[in-house]
Structure 1
Amino acid sequence: MPEPGVDTESLIKYSTFIESRIHYVQLAIRDILGGKADLGIEWEAEFLRKKVAERPPTYRVLAQPLGSTDAEEGQTP
């Protein structure tokens, strides 16, 4: 994950984005360790990949100038 820009909006978006991804990983680990991953570890891994692909990062990174977004520059960190 690229580091966010130093502006407040980017830091908030980054924090929210990371918390969302961590939540999905925690759920998968809970199910696997708790024996509730009925469809198997491979399914859990594929589920995580799909969730990541559904929501690419949308925050500005340090290498981008202020005022630009990933969509404007055609970049997905």
Structure 2
Amino acid sequence: MTAPIPEPIADLLRAVTEALDIPEPATEDDAQIHNAILADRAMDAVVALRGILGDPTGLSVPWNADYLRKMLATKPPTGYRAAEVPRQNGGRP
């Protein structure tokens, strides 16, 4: 039996998933833009995770999850054509 994930950690994991789970590019031409966006969003996730790992109290978890979402809001995964790939679980992550 596994222990439930504490809500602040679950929220952080959802924010990291939001950062990295962006639509796949439709073509090779779209891949360059997609990859640049994904790399930028991945770096934001790394910054948030480093902030948490550098805080032995764990109090920064909610702050860093919020920071990550604010950064992601400025970098939407747009500007390229996305592939139409059906998602598993009926479209739910």
TM-score, normalized by the shorter chain, greater than 0.5: yes
* TM superposition shift of 1:51: 1.1
Cα deviation code 1:42-64 (max 9, x no counterpart): 1110111111111211211123x
Task: Check if 1:4 corresponds to 2:44.
Answer: no
Cα pair distance change 1:48/1:14, threshold 3 Å: same
* TM superposition shift of 1:7: 3.4
Q: Could you tell me the TM-score, scaled by structure 1's length? A: 0.68
**Of 40, 43, 62, the match for 1:23:** 43
**Of 62, 71, 79, the match for 1:51:** 71
Aligned CA RMSD, in angstroms, stands at 2.2
Q: Could you tell me the TM-score, scaled by structure 2's length? A: 0.58
The count of residues paired between Structure 1 and Structure 2 equals: 62
Cα pair distance change 1:37/1:4, threshold 3 Å: farther
Unaligned runs of 5+ in 2: 1-21, 85-93
Poorly superposed stretches of 4+, deviation over 4 Å: 36-39
